[in-house]
Chain A
Amino acid sequence: MRRAPRLPGWTVALPYLWLALFFALPMLLVAKLSLSHTVLAVPPYAPRLDLSHGLAGLGAFMRALSFETYARLAADRLYLDAYLSSLAFAGAATAILFLIAYPIAYGMSRFGTGARQVLLMAVILPFWTSFLIRIYAWIAILKPAGLLNQALGLLHIPPLNLLNTNTAVIIGLVYAYLPFMVLPLYAVLERQDESLIEASRDLGCTPSQAFWRVTFPLSLPGVMAGGLLCFIPMVGEFVIPDLLGGSNTLMLGRTIWTEFFANRDWPAASAVAIVLLATLAIPIALFQRQQAKALS
């Protein structure tokens, strides 16, 4: 075996530098913002860090920070509702995604190599079109006189009022995240050893028992990976609820947008974002552990 070529020590630091500059630093800024309070000014918050006064300025700045915004979040039922509603949307969409994606991934893994490549391509193909355009396309499908209702009309079924409802949000989420659920499931199902299924059949399993006793338990890492890969970003999703949801659709992405742009309450928007990150830390940690286990 060849040893990996030795890289100079500083190259290891590069990704960390990148993360520090483009992830940690912005997060720190958001955290700082969440501890500020709103003022009528540009930008609309105080205190502002003024380093020209040296350490004394830093001290004054630190003293002016407070957790008051977080107290406000805790006191106002709206925010809690937005969190719970976001978790519910993401949870429901994840469950539906699993039910749709598993048969797709399972079916794909049963095909020959050639057909598999084509099917895999079909799953990835939507990524070649702009995400925004694909969501707009759903507006065209779901709107009152849209494609769906025209089709229903041909079948003499009364029209459905789906656009700007929570159902439309779920449809959009399921549609947009489907590949992220299919691919991890496909990856575990495709590399499953066929002789394990034969062994279970030999030991008395019918085909469906073989699935539930062998195939499915062995695909759980893929279920876990796909679930978290979809659940985590869906909680904070903004575009889909904004374009497909109604005025009563409560999701955190929209709450943050409203606080930031409509209310010009930057500290509140930042605090909501920080709490969201903290909430998602648990599933993210789970995901990381899952990935590490899959690699070992």
Chain B
Amino acid sequence: MDPGADRSVSGPVTAPLVRFEGVAKRFGDLAAVDGVSLEIAEGEFFALLGPSGCGKTTLMRMLAGFARPDAGRILLGGEDIAGLPPHRRPSSMMFQTYALFPHLNVEKNIAFGLKQQGWDKARAAARVEEMLALVRLEGLNRRRPDQLSGGQKQRVALARAMAPGPRILLLDEPLAALDRKLREETQLELKSIQRRLGVTFMIVTHDQDEAMVVADRIAVMREGRIAQVGPPREVYERPTSRFVAEFLGEANLFPQGAGFRLVRPERMTLSAEPVAGAMAGEVAEIAYFGDRTRYVIRRSEGRPLLVSRANLSAPLALAVGDAAWVAFDADAAVVLGG
């Protein structure tokens, strides 16, 4: 994709598979989704990221057919899908709770959609094996959902959603129920599966790390609107608003005119010796994370500064209470409107 291509809607999209046009949805007085326009390319791994209640799940459910937009259009492959019920949409959804059918074993769960599409037995059985191999659960055909671990359930849910060959897979907080280590492994695996199959994935998450790890592009949502869309590096390093800057990781914000200058903690340099032009302060907190160390530097005025320092060489000779000096390069700062 050419980064210089048309950005009028929401970023560099060559062949949009999905197109939201001014989509809105109200629940009573609450505007859950408030005029969202967005394009998702064929083969893209797209993330909808935002705090709970920002409308990301509603937006996904409208694409799946479980909610109807009050205004706007949703196009899939150039076709308006507003009138299509969920069972006639070429999308598949993976539910946050996995929603595995408790009365069916793994094999029958995965074959559920195939049976619905009228696949013959032999072909469906082969497809089930293919899906089990994809999610590395070979041999668990006859297990019942209640005999599976959380991670295994998650994989069965993925296999079941992928089996009928959807044009787009919708993942609703797919990893929220897993513990941290398993979640991080599964993020990489999801990404690799998506790359291998070349199917468009759209994930809904409130976890910015997850969105950045898996997605090609992220749409950050706030109060029913899109705050910013772009590749992970762009939204992290070049946020266009204070909200996005603070939602994606930690931020040092310096008031400038009506807006702010943003500097990410890892772009700050910390010194135990006075440095010309640096901001002086006192170490208020030191947190060791193994690969990096995070410092909180209190100043006589303004907000405390956050500094993140990769543990590449000898540690700084700093302890809580010591004087410290913080500086950053001019090109590390991003100017935000407000």
Name A's B-contacting residues (CB within 8 A). 193, 195-196, 198-206, 209, 213-214, 217-218
Decide if A205 touches B99 in the complex (CB within 8 Å).
no
Compute how far the CA of A217 lies from the CA of B93 in the bound complex, rounded to whole angstroms: 22
A198 engages B87 (CB within 8 Å): no
Least CB separation from B170: chain A residue:
A202
Question: Chain B residue with minimal CB distance to A210?
Answer: B87
Interface segment out of the listed B5-13, B26-34, B110-118, B275-283: B110-118
A209 with B116: CB separation less than 8 A: yes
Q: Which residues of A contact B103 (CB under 8 A)?
A: 217-218
Task: Let me know if B97 is at the binding interface, CB within 8 A.
Answer: yes
**Residues 112-134 of chain B, each 1 if its beta carbon lies under 8 Å from chain A, else 0:** 11001100000000000000000
B208 within 8 A of A: no
Known: A209-B116, A218-B103. A202 touches B97 (CB 8 A): no
A196 pairs with B116, CB closer than 8 A: no
Interface residues of B in 154-171 (CB under 8 A from A): 160-161, 164
Interface contact tally, CB-CB below 8 A? 58
Q: Top 7 nearest A-B pairs by Cβ distance? A: A204-B116, A203-B113, A199-B99, A195-B99, A201-B86, A202-B93, A204-B87
Contact B87 A193 (CB under 8 A): no
Report the bound CA distance from A201 to B66 in whole Å: 9
Are B112 and A200 within 8 A (Cβ)?
Answer: yes
A219 and B94 CA atoms in complex are apart in Å by 24
Can you list 11 A-B contacts with CB-CB less than 8 angstroms, sorted by A residue number? A195-B95, A199-B95, A203-B92, A203-B160, A204-B113, A204-B116, A206-B85, A209-B87, A214-B101, A218-B102, A218-B103
Q: Are A204 and B99 in contact (CB under 8 A)?
A: no
Inside 8 A of B66's CB, which chain A residues have their CB?
A: 198, 201
- Closest Cβ–Cβ distance, residue A240 to chain B (whole Å): 36
Q: How far is the CB of A225 from chain B (nearest CB, A)?
A: 16
| Additional A-B contacts beyond A199-B95, A201-B66, A202-B91 (16; CB < 8 A) | A195-B95, A196-B101, A199-B99, A201-B65, A201-B87, A202-B64, A203-B116, A203-B160, A204-B113, A204-B116, A204-B117, A205-B116, A213-B112, A214-B101, A218-B101, A218-B103
- Mask for B164-180, Cβ within 8 A of A = 1, else 0? 10000000000000000
